[in-house]
């Protein structure tokens, strides 16, 4: 997916440079109409290349979603009253451990669905786990007890999810951008699969 975008970025950049060189040749021959046309076309190519590069950076870290798949395996270990530890093991074999308040595990994600014409470029629906937090089953405890919310997503230079929410200009590219969440009990030792599908996140308990 990203390789296609980087190749297109390079292709647009080379085309833009070639047009600038052609405009320089037209300048030497004193052909102002050709100069203007080639410079404008070069700018269009540079803009297209910049857009492809920005999208490639924006989707870095996201995982392509073509079917239901495991986004993480989570092991829960209670640490006492209304506190527990959640160890996440991700598909790339990396591991992260979080200490959370509450008696339920809550995980949410960002999902980006592209327009059909963008799929031709190799971009399919992608997802990224965003946050993990402790949740309280009892509403009064949820309102009064301490809350813990931690990030699962890496820092990124281009945040496509945030940009789409701020700028309607990206609507021709993205068909939908939405958040999805799931939660489960965390008051006993257990191991879960956090799965993501076209309809969003879901959680399944694994056999011990």
Q: 113 and 14, same structural domain?
A: no
Q: Of 58, 75, 93, which closes a domain?
A: 58
Q: 106 and 16, same structural domain?
A: no
Instruction: Give me the pLDDT at residue 179, please.
Output: 81
Residue 29, SS3? coil
Spans of the chain below 70 pLDDT? 1-8, 16-17, 19-20, 22-38, 45, 51-67, 116-124, 156-171, 173-177, 198, 208
Instruction: Give me the pLDDT at residue 72, please.
Output: 94
Residues paired with 194 in a beta bridge:
72, 203
Q: Strand 104-114 and strand 126-135: pairing?
A: antiparallel
Q: Of 42, 58, 74, which closes a domain?
A: 58
Q: 198 and 100, same structural domain?
A: yes
Domain count, the chain: 2
Q: 67 and 46, same structural domain?
A: no
Instruction: Give me the pLDDT at residue 167, please.
Output: 62
Residues paired with 100 in a beta bridge:
84
Q: 92 and 137, same structural domain?
A: yes
Look up the domain containing 40 and give its range.
Answer: 2-58
pTM of the predicted model over 0.85: no
Taking only the tens place, the pLDDT of each residue in 59-115 is: 565 655 556 788 999 999 999 889 999 999 999 899 999 999 999 999 998 887 777
Question: In degrees, to the nearest 5, what angle opens at C-alpha 194 toward C-alphas 71 and 95?
Answer: 60
Question: In degrees, to the nearest 5, what angle opens at C-alpha 168 toward C-alphas 171 and 1?
Answer: 40
Q: Are 103 and 71 in contact (CB under 8 A)?
A: no
């Amino acid at each position: 997916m990203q390789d296609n975008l980087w190749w297109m970025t390079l292709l647009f950049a080379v085309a833009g440079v070639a047009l600038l060189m052609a405009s320089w040749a037209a300048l030497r021959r004193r052909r102002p109409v050709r100069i203007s046309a080639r410079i404008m076309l070069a700018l269009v190519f540079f803009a297209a290349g910049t857009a492809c590069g920005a999208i490639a950076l924006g989707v870095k870290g996201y995982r392509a979603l073509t079917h239901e798949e495991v986004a993480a395996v989570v092991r829960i270990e209670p640490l006492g009253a209304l506190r527990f530890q959640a160890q996440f093991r991700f598909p790339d074999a990396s591991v992260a451990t979080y200490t959370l308040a509450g008696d339920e595990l809550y995980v949410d994600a960002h999902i980006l669905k592209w327009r059909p014409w963008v799929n031709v470029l190799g971009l399919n629906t992608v997802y990224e786990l965003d946050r993990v937090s402790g949740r309280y089953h009892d509403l009064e405890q949820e309102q009064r007890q301490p809350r813990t919310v931690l990030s699962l997503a890496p820092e990124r230079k281009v945040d496509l999810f945030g940009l789409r929410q701020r700028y309607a200009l990206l609507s021709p590219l993205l068909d939908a951008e939405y958040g999805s969440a799931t939660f489960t009990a965390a008051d006993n030792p257990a191991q879960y699969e956090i799965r993501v599908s076209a309809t969003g996140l879901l959680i399944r308990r694994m056999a011990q």
